[in-house]
Amino acid sequence: MMDLHCHVDLYPDFSEVLNDIQSCNFYVLSVTTVPSAFEGTEGLTKHLKNCKTALGLHPQLAHQRKNELVLFDQLIERTRYIGEIGLDGSKGFKEHFADQLMVFSHILKSCESYSDKILTIHSLNAVDEVLTCLKAYPKAGTSILHWFLGSKSQVDAAVDMGCYFSIGPAMLDSARGRKVVSWMPLNRILLETDGPFAKLNGKALLPSDTNLAVQYLSTINGVDCTDIKNSIKSNLRRIVSSKD
């Protein structure tokens, strides 16, 4: 299976997450929060053939690290995967929203110069603004909305725009998260952990824990776990093989 949003470089114990990836042999997208972390993170997983490293600039760090956009543009040719990027309208970050918009728009515009980028996007308390930006840069690539907590109409709008959604065990641990997942079509769902930040029962999630999300989807859809896995694998193949 897969974990399409994992902060491999931020686990307190690298060996724990790297051993988990190796043993489960999942397709893992190792996201970064600043461009200057890309090369080091790529080095951590270079021996893992199914682990890809994404180039990101997290919205919560946009105001502090916007100077790294120069480095972002230098590195963008090194990877097909972009993230974590996006916008955050939460308390403490909304005051820097202008910087976030500048950074996110710059990244999307840079991605439009290519035909195959895959983006993992943060949209906490800023769903409408994220969707507006994606509409403004329709050729940026395939968007995966990570831990998406929008309304039903926002889910529908994202689906109409061709977006996918990555969900994980921690998201499903909340009533709101489960409600949002119930609105998502199965042919747009992918899996994530958001580890080590996302936890379950006080323990940081590891890539292999995405199987918990498979079990949940199997239960609510009344479909065998094998069929759920096949559907989600098909979604991933569609994204990886696509050229915008």
% the chain with pLDDT above 70: 99
Domains of the chain, by residue range, sit at: 2-241
Q: Given phi > 0 = left and psi -120 to 50 = alpha, else beta, which region is 224?
A: beta
Write out the DSSP string of 66-109.
GGGHHHHHHHGGG-SEEEEEE---STTTGGGHHHHHHHHHHHHH
Residue 199, H or E segment: strand 199-200
Mean residue pLDDT of the chain comes to 97
Residue 121, Cα to own-chain centre: how many angstroms?
A: 5
**What number is the average pLDDT over the span 46-62?**
96
pLDDT digits (tens, 9 = 90+) for 66-99: 999 999 999 999 999 999 999 999 999 999 999 9
| pTM, two decimal places | 0.97
Q: Which CATH number fits domain 2-241: 3.30.470.10, 1.10.3720.10, 3.20.20.140, 3.10.310.10?
A: 3.20.20.140
Q: Which H or E run includes 165?
A: strand 164-167
Confidence tier at 115 by pLDDT (50, 70, 90): confident
